[in-house]
Amino acid sequence: MAEYLEFKGTGPMRLLTPNLRLKSIYDLPIPWLKERRVRAILTDLDNTLVPWRDYRVAAELADWFRTLHGEGFRTVILTNARPSPTIKEMSEELQTELVVGARKPVQRFFRRALERVDASPVEACVIGDQVFTDVLGGNLMGCYTVLVERIGRREFFGTKIMRLLERRVLGRLDRFRVQNEGVEGDASR
Ligand SMILES: [Mg+2]
């Protein structure tokens, strides 16, 4: 049973507040998505699906994509990583769409990813491990946003700096918590 924390940001914090915070992508609650008529998943790559720059497909990851596709979701990996044959192969193995060389939170790249899966912003959920790229970009676009804990501790130097700022934002999120006691499977507020 997936556990998650749900938020509804207001005021200046609105754009930095994810709808959900999860431990990992494997906790993504499908009923919650379906209730909101989400039909496309835009997911970050590094430290969200795999450890930083470790582009191997674990069986569990392949299963996760298979489950999402089986449930009728379309998926696209949206990453700031530079194009590489390894990433391309990975997306092919997972049978998912791919937008590489993005500059999240720049909107243009989110738009491109949405086009790939033929979804409007409100039909899409952005998943990632960073507030200032994944969550901010997704919120600006008008998508649902899910923040997961990063998989590894290794990351790009610039990211480490943003983490300091991110920690301050996350420390303030608690007041935007939606009280959802019966979170198990039933995502009603
Ligand atoms: Mg990431």
Distance 45 CA to ligand 1 centre (A): 6
Q: What is the mean pLDDT of the chain?
A: 91
pTM: 0.90
Mean per-residue pLDDT for 89-109? 98
Residue 73 lies in a domain: yes
87 — pLDDT class (breaks 50, 70, 90):
very high
Distance 89 CA to ligand 1 centre (A): 19
Residue 5 lies in a domain: no
Residue 109 lies in a domain: yes
- pLDDT beyond 60 at 188: no
Distance 71 CA to ligand 1 centre (A): 25
Does 51 sit behind a cis peptide bond, omega within 30 degrees of 0 on the bond before it?
A: no
**pLDDT tens digits, one per residue of 16-70:** 999 999 999 999 999 999 999 999 999 999 999 999 999 999 999 999 999 999 9
Mean per-residue pLDDT for 89-95? 98
**pLDDT tens digits, one per residue of 169-184:** 888 888 899 976 544 4
Residue 86 lies in a domain: yes
Mean per-residue pLDDT for 124-146? 97
Task: Note residues around ion ligand 1 (Cβ under 5 angstroms).
Answer: 44, 46-48, 129
Dihedral of CA atoms 44, 65, 115, 6 in degrees, nearest 10, equals -60
Percent of the chain with pLDDT over 90: 75
Mean per-residue pLDDT for 116-127? 98
CB 10 within 8 A of CB 176: yes
Identify which of 86, 3, 11, 81 has the alpha carbon closest to the alpha carbon of residue 43.
81
Residue 100 lies in a domain: yes
Identify which of 139, 21, 119 has the alpha carbon closest to the alpha carbon of residue 75.
119
Residue 66 lies in a domain: yes
Residue 2 lies in a domain: no
Distance 128 CA to ligand 1 centre (A): 6
Distance 129 CA to ligand 1 centre (A): 5
Least confident segment among 20-29, 89-98, 135-144, 159-168? 159-168
CB 107 within 8 A of CB 137: yes
3-class secondary structure, 99: strand
Question: Which pLDDT score is estimated for 4?
Answer: 79
Which DSSP letter does residue 19 get?
S
Q: Which domain holds residue 117?
A: 13-172
Residue 60 lies in a domain: yes
Count up the domains in the chain and report the number. 1
- Indicate which CATH number applies to the domain containing 19: 3.40.50.1000
Q: Which distant-in-sequence residues (6+ apart) come within 8 Å of 118 by Cβ?
A: 40, 74
CB 108 within 8 A of CB 22: no
